[in-house]
């Protein structure tokens, strides 16, 4: 047996790379704006817009500005949005549900079936301590109270017309609880896109500023996954799939590329990647320093997500996709 098999003759590589037509012929990865999801922050009581530090092209939006922004995005070929409804005060999950429902209603009244509206379901913008769960004074999670509040929130936004819900809290059993709560209200058709493999990460900084959801004490390491754990990371998505998640997700996307294909194979579900705020902001910062062409860099990362097996990509750069050359 030969020890070394012959490599691809280098002339073949050179020949096939010499023109755009040949490079396009040999390309295996493609996607359209239909595979991209644009996050959107609508803030209660805000007039106009407020920039979000680091997240170029993204702002905190009052409801009116939110509708205008979505209108421009739809015209630019986007169909999928992930809504973060940010309440003006903390301490009342019920009041937040009401605000989120008002925003969903307004968006669906204006745009109907022109878009698919996913709604993030979490409590971190409404709990006083900025955590994703309801905890007692010693910081221990009250799972029953948390699940009940999450279920109420999901049902409220579904009643208001949400096209899908996306639980990001990472509490055990929340996907099953949401499915059961939705079904009990006749919302069987509403899909659940679970944040199924979500790591404790340094890359959520700009988001937490935008959503007012930075933990006031401690961190989220007791309910988000440790980056050193591969088995737990895959098991977390398997659990979500078994609990009834329709779509799965890894997050942060760029630091979880290795997990996308294994999760898809283990669950037979489509897996998306969330290019999170710190990842996107990092690319923007490179651009500002004159060290990278941001548009080209973004396109590069999106191709890599697809190469790794991602079905869809949640990215703060979605609204520039058409301008960058992503087909509709
Ligand atoms: C809230 C939530 C977070 C993100 C999405 N939903 C922050 C967190 O878990 O602390 C992060 C998104 C981003 O950084 O773009 N549970």
Is 195 a member of any domain? Answer: yes
Domain of 301: which CATH number? 3.20.20.70
Q: Which two tokens stand for residue 231?
A: 């088995």
- Give 155: exposed, middle or buried? Use CB within 10 Å, 0-12, 13-18, 19+: buried
Is 324 a member of any domain? Answer: no
The strand ranges marked E within the chain are 36-43, 49-51, 59-61, 80-86, 116-121, 164-167, 197-198, 248-251, 271-275, 313-315
DSSP per-residue string spanning 226-275: -TT-HHHHHHHHHHHHHTT-SBEEEESSTT-HHHHHHHHHHH-S-EEEEE
Number of domains forming the structure of the chain: 1
Minimum-distance ligand 1 atom for the alpha carbon of 204? 14
User: How many helices (H) and strands (E) in the chain?
Assistant: 12, 10
Minimum-distance ligand 1 atom for the alpha carbon of 278? 14
Is 310 a member of any domain? Answer: yes
CA 228 to chain centre: 22
Is 237 a member of any domain? Answer: yes
pTM of the predicted structure, to 2 decimals:
0.94
Identify any residues that bridge with 272 across adjacent strands, giving them in sequence order: 249
Residue nearest ligand 1's atom 11 by CA: 204
Whether 276 lines ligand 1, by a CB cut-off of 6 Å, is yes
Question: Could you list the residue range(s) of the whole structural domain that residue 268 is in?
Answer: 10-319
Is 206 a member of any domain? Answer: yes
Whether 279 lines ligand 1, by a CB cut-off of 6 Å, is no
Is 32 a member of any domain? Answer: yes
Q: Would you write out the chain's pLDDT as a tens digit for each of its 328 residues?
A: 455 566 666 788 888 999 999 999 999 999 999 999 999 999 999 999 999 999 999 999 999 999 999 999 999 999 999 999 999 877 766 666 999 999 999 999 999 999 999 999 998 888 888 888 888 888 888 989 999 999 999 999 999 999 999 999 888 899 999 999 999 999 999 999 999 999 999 999 999 999 888 887 888 888 899 999 999 999 999 999 999 999 999 999 999 999 999 999 999 999 999 999 999 999 999 999 999 999 999 999 999 999 999 999 999 999 999 999 999 9
Rounded to whole angstroms, how far apart are CA atoms 102 and 168? 21
Is 46 a member of any domain? Answer: yes
Mark residue 325 as left, alpha or beta (left: phi above 0; alpha: psi -120 to 50; beta: remaining).
left
- DSSP classification of residue 54: T
Is 328 a member of any domain? Answer: no
Whether 208 lines ligand 1, by a CB cut-off of 6 Å, is yes
Residue 204 Cα to ligand 1 middle (Å): 6
Rounded to whole angstroms, how far apart are CA atoms 7 and 28? 20
């Amino acid at each position: 047996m030969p020890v070394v098999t012959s490599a691809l003759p280098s002339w073949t590589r050179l020949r096939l790379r010499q023109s755009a037509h040949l490079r396009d012929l040999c390309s295996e990865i493609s996607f359209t704006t239909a595979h991209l999801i644009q996050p959107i922050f609508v803030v209660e009581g805000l007039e106009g817009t407020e920039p979000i530090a680091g997240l170029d092209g993204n702002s905190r939006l009052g409801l009116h500005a939110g509708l205008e922004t979505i209108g421009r995005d739809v015209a630019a070929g986007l169909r999928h949005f992930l809504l973060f409804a940010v309440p003006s005060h903390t301490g009342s999950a019920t009041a937040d549900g009401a605000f989120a429902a008002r925003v969903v209603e307004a968006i669906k009244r204006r745009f109907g079936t022109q878009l698919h509206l996913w709604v993030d379901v979490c409590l971190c913008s409404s709990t006083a301590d900025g955590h994703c769960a309801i905890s007692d004074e010693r910081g221990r999670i009250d799972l029953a109270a948390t699940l009940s509040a999450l279920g109420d929130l999901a049902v409220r936004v579904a009643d208001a017309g949400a096209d899908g819900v996306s639980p990001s809290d990472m509490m055990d059993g929340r996907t099953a609880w949401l499915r059961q709560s939705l079904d009990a209200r006749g919302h069987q058709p509403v899909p659940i896109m679970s944040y199924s493999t979500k790591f404790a990460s340094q890359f959520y900084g700009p988001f937490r500023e935008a959503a007012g959801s930075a933990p006031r004490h401690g961190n989220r390491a007791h309910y988000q996954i440790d980056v050193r754990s591969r088995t737990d990371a895959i098991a977390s998505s398997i659990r979500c799939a078994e609990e009834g998640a329709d779509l799965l997700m890894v997050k942060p996307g760029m630091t979880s590329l290795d997990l996308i294909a294994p999760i898809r194979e283990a669950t037979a579900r489509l897996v998306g990647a969330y290019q999170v705020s710190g990842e996107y902001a990092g690319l923007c910062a490179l651009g500002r320093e004159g060290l990278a062409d941001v548009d080209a860099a973004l396109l590069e990362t999106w191709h890599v997500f697809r190469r790794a097996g991602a079905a869809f990509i949640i990215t703060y750069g979605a609204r520039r996709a058409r301008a960058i050359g992503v087909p509709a």
